[in-house]
Amino acid sequence: MATVMAETLKLSYDAEGDILYLESVQPYAEQGSTEIGDGIVARFNPQRRAIESLEILGFSRRFAALGDRLTLPVHIEMRELPG
């Protein structure tokens, strides 16, 4: 079953690494991570396997490819990882 994350998301951009971070919690050492798509990394709670943040690598390239298709606000639904 999907869980909609009620927390506020913090968005930050690392220009040097060209990474967009979407975080519902501060990163912590025990957090697990897995690549869920081409250059998209999910960080998750290891006990609940619930996604807590996303990292979008190569964001400026992806953003440029969107052209005028980017619309805000963005609705993001975080789901539990299978397994």
d(C-alpha 79, C-alpha 52), whole Å:
9
Domain limits of the chain? Answer: 10-69
Strand runs labelled E in 1-83:
10-14, 19-23, 32-37, 40-44, 51-57
pLDDT tens profile 34-78: 999 899 999 999 999 889 999 999 988 887 776 666 554 556 666
pLDDT at 21 (0 to 100): 92
Does the structure show a pLDDT above 50 at 1? no
pLDDT at 76 (0 to 100): 64
**Helix, strand, coil share of the chain (percent; to 5):** 15, 35, 50
pTM to 2 decimals? 0.71
